[in-house]
Amino acid sequence: MITDQFGRTHNYLRISLTDNCNLRCFYCMPEENYDFTPHAKLMQADEIDTIAKIFVEHGVTKIRLTGGEPFVRKDASKIIRNLGKLPVQLTCTTNGIRIDDMLPEIIQSDFQSINISLDTLQKEKFLKITRRDYFDRVLRNINLLLQHNIKTKINVVAMKDINDDEISDFIAFTKDHPVEVRFIEFMPFSGNRWSSNKVMTQKDILDIIREKYDFNPLPVGFHDTAKPYSIDGHQGSFSIISTMSEPFCSGCNRIRLTADGKLKNCLFSKKETDLLTPLRNGEDILPIIESAIWSKAKTQGGQLNEQFEKINTSIIQNRSMINIGG
């Protein structure tokens, strides 16, 4: 098992397949004309397979594919088929645009769930946030997943003056759709124009929902990042990921691997560990992995150890969200 100096066991690996994306969400991508990583500098399909097997041999039981948008990668089908052979719970986070194209691979590889990033239920606002016109296709693909009984979660980055007026609309959506809507507090990354006054905290979100709905808290697992709730009479449910206002670092079991083969032991860590270069040089990367995880900071990468209202984004050293992997 891969553990850190605080005794946390890491059995959940998030692999970014690419920093490329077919959307241009402002909070994720710093600019419209973004320089994507050349394919040769990305982990190749067989390299992803090799690295994943090392992690699985040492205790990883869950793998999530991320990006960018993982399904825009041309060899995504091959990668998924390879990982689908491993004894892990396989899942992914996607913007939902290419679900229809990838459905055969999703079914064949027995994806346990799919997370769809969708920050608005309004077509015009979707275009404003993403700078692309794919709203109708995303909704169709959510319904496609539900038709095939694939557990579906909708990730909503909640932001003041952007989509805070739609919190109740997303709750209403769960009445007739068996999805879990996950409200995520807005987090600071390089170039995403974050400020504390845009953050919708867990309390803010619950206060809005409470105005129209009675809800019940559900059990929270030790490693869970989302605090779940149910509403009587609703097929679906909702949850809140309170990264900024109520961090959950004590139960962290997650490892992140960027598309260019860098290991990040925390979403907010400034330090990265190169696995791809030593792998290509024929080195044993297990000691490198173990050392990187062992050195993990106690909370939030050692960079956000204060009240989020006082965070100075100018001194944070990190990549953009699209370059890390969701």
In the prediction, which pLDDT does 104 show? 95
DSSP output for 204-273: HHHHHHHTT---EE----TT-SEEEEE-TT-SSEEEEE-TTTS--GGG--EEEE-TTSEEESSTT-S--E
As a whole number, mean pLDDT of residues 249-265 equals: 94
CATH number 1.10.150.20 given to 12-320 = no
As a whole number, mean pLDDT of residues 21-32 equals: 72
Flag whether pLDDT at 163 surpasses 80: yes
Q: Which residue would you say has higher pLDDT here, 120 or 323?
A: 120
Flag whether pLDDT at 266 surpasses 90: no
Flag whether pLDDT at 211 surpasses 70: yes
Flag whether pLDDT at 244 surpasses 90: no
Flag whether pLDDT at 318 surpasses 60: no
In the prediction, which pLDDT does 192 show? 53
9 half-sphere exposure, CB direction, 13 A CA radius: 8
As a whole number, mean pLDDT of residues 41-63 equals: 97
Flag whether pLDDT at 19 surpasses 60: yes
Three-point CA angle 276, 282, 288, nearest 5°: 55
As a whole number, mean pLDDT of residues 9-27 equals: 90
Specify whether the CB–CB gap between 92 and 79 falls below 8 A: no
In the prediction, which pLDDT does 63 show? 97
Flag whether pLDDT at 177 surpasses 80: yes
Q: Which residue would you say has higher pLDDT here, 157 or 302?
A: 157
Render pLDDT for 133-155 as a digit per residue (tens, 0 to 9): 999 999 999 999 999 999 999 99
Flag whether pLDDT at 317 surpasses 80: no
In the prediction, which pLDDT does 101 show? 96
Q: Which residue would you say has higher pLDDT here, 257 or 67?
A: 257
Q: Residue 309 — left, alpha, or beta (φ > 0 → left; ψ -120 to 50 → alpha)?
A: alpha
Residues 6+ apart with CB under 8 A from 56: 63, 86, 87, 88
Render pLDDT for 213-223 as a digit per residue (tens, 0 to 9): 999 999 999 99
In the prediction, which pLDDT does 273 show? 96
In the prediction, which pLDDT does 28 show? 67
Lowest mean pLDDT, pick from 82-86, 255-259, 303-307: 303-307
Label residue 131 by pLDDT band (50, 70, 90). Answer: confident
Strand (E) or helix (H) holding 63? strand 62-66
Render pLDDT for 180-192 as a digit per residue (tens, 0 to 9): 999 999 876 655 5
How large a percentage of the chain has pLDDT more than 90?
73
Q: Which residue would you say has higher pLDDT here, 216 or 300?
A: 216
Cβ atoms within 10 Å, residue 274: 15
As a whole number, mean pLDDT of residues 4-10 equals: 96
Sign of CA dihedral 211, 215, 220, 226: negative
| Pairing of the two strands 12-16 and 2-3 | unpaired
Render pLDDT for 88-123 as a digit per residue (tens, 0 to 9): 999 999 999 999 999 999 999 999 899 999 999 999
CA distance linking residue 79 with residue 70, whole number of Å: 10
Specify whether the CB–CB gap between 240 and 183 falls below 8 A: yes
